[in-house]
Structure 1
Amino acid sequence: MDEYCFTNTAFIHLDGQSATSKKRMLKRYPYRYFAPSQVSIETAGMMDLDVELKFHLGGLAFSIDIDKSQIEGVRDIYKALTAIAERCQAIRHDEMVLEKSFETVTGMFNLKDVPEAVIMSLPTVINQTVQKVEAGYNERLNAIRQYDFGVVFEHYLRD
């Protein structure tokens, strides 16, 4: 009863609730907040007719049963989810490095040890410098936060 969709920015789950109910719940899990992890494919014996794609999104476990005849497509999704997981981890690392760098640079503007007369002559220079640092920080942060994984899906899920 459940339906699933992997998009370039999120995983979408249409929960069928139960076989006797028409009630359905649509849930969206943006990769930005629900990074994939623990991606695996479980194949069973020769008699089974399905394979399971298993993964976690932000701590939520998913197991999707897929017809065994679709194994190549499942492998492609596995590769794409693994690549997205690695990229999300790299984004988090880059954000952390940027944040530490920003804190270090802004910490250099601690003026508690500078004489007041000097401080009074610096407001314009400090203000301009802080604005440039903040602008550079925001520009770099926007460059890092690329959570559109369309290129990954295009690479792994070719027709």
Structure 2
Amino acid sequence: MDNEKIFFVIKSKTDEYCFTNVAFMHLDGKSAISKKRMLYRYLYKHNPIKNVLLETAGTVDLDAEIKFQLGEQHFSIDIDKKQIEKIRDLYKALFTIGETCKEINRKRNVLLQSTDNVQKMFNLRELSEQAILNLPEIINQTAQQVEDYANQLKN
């Protein structure tokens, strides 16, 4: 695709995985009988990364595993333990992307809630005249309560 760059490719015995700046792709090679393979593409903007884990190889194991969830799909990819430095870099990148997705989602929720609250505030036709006259005081009290709560969370 236009402006898409490949950052990391992993090939296993049956599958291939590709991380780009736009999406994660999985070329599924489940069947050893058939040469047909299915290509799955998961756009990051629709499938947030979470639950990133790195399972290092033991003394007997020949591979390490990178595990993560992309949207609702779970992945566990075996990687030769000789590639441990690259695996660590991939782990760090996936973990950082996952944390960034959480923060974006948190900010999105705050924005949606704020928009909803502002919408409700402008629906003044349903309020009595006395309530409208008390709005500045109510807004100041609410702002103070929000600020107090935010300060409590910091501590």
Q: Under a length normalisation based on structure 2, what TM-score does the superposition of the two structures give?
A: 0.68
Kindly indicate which of the two structures has a greater share of residues assigned to strand: 2
Q: Please give the alpha-carbon distance, in whole angstroms, between the structure 2 residues aligned to 1:105 and 1:38.
A: 35
Residue in 2 that maps onto 1:78 = 91
- Residues 43 and 112 (structure 1), Cα distance of their counterparts in 2 relative to 1, 3 Å cut: same
Q: Which runs of 5+ in 1 are unaligned?
A: 116-159
Q: Is residue 2 of structure 2 the alignment partner of residue 16 of structure 1?
A: no
How many residues are treated as equivalent by the alignment? Answer: 115
Q: Which runs of 5+ in 2 are unaligned?
A: 1-13, 129-155
Q: Under a length normalisation based on structure 1, what TM-score does the superposition of the two structures give?
A: 0.67
Residue in 2 that maps onto 1:2 = 15
* Cα deviation code 1:127-149 (max 9, x no counterpart): xxxxxxxxxxxxxxxxxxxxxxx
The CA deviation at 1:106 is 1.8
The CA deviation at 1:58 is 1.8
DSSP 3-state at the match of 2:59 = coil
Does the CA-based 8 Å contact 2:18-2:25 persist in structure 1?
A: yes
The CA deviation at 1:114 is 7.2
Aligned partner of 1:42: which letter?
E
Does the CA-based 8 Å contact 1:49-1:68 persist in structure 2?
A: yes
Residue in 2 that maps onto 1:57 = 70
Match of 2:82 among 69, 73, 81: 69
Does the CA-based 8 Å contact 1:17-1:23 persist in structure 2?
A: no
Q: Please give the alpha-carbon distance, in whole angstroms, between the structure 1 residues aligned to 2:60 and 2:122.
A: 69
DSSP 3-state at the match of 1:88 = helix
Does the CA-based 8 Å contact 1:2-1:14 persist in structure 2?
A: yes
Does the CA-based 8 Å contact 2:65-2:76 persist in structure 1?
A: yes
Match of 1:30 among 21, 43, 48: 43
Aligned partner of 1:48: which letter?
D
Task: Indicate the RMSD between aligned Cα atoms, in angstroms.
Answer: 1.7
Q: Please give the alpha-carbon distance, in whole angstroms, between the structure 1 residues aligned to 2:62 and 2:16.
A: 18
Aligned partner of 1:21: which letter?
S
Match of 2:110 among 75, 83, 97: 97
DSSP 3-state at the match of 2:60 = coil
Query: What is the identity percentage for the equivalent residue pairs of Structure 1 and Structure 2?
Result: 57
Relative CO higher for 1 or 2, CA cutoff 8 Å, sep ≥ 6? 1
* Cα deviation code 1:12-42 (max 9, x no counterpart): 1010122221111111112222211111111
Q: Is residue 140 of structure 2 the alignment partner of residue 110 of structure 1?
A: no
DSSP 3-state at the match of 2:67 = strand
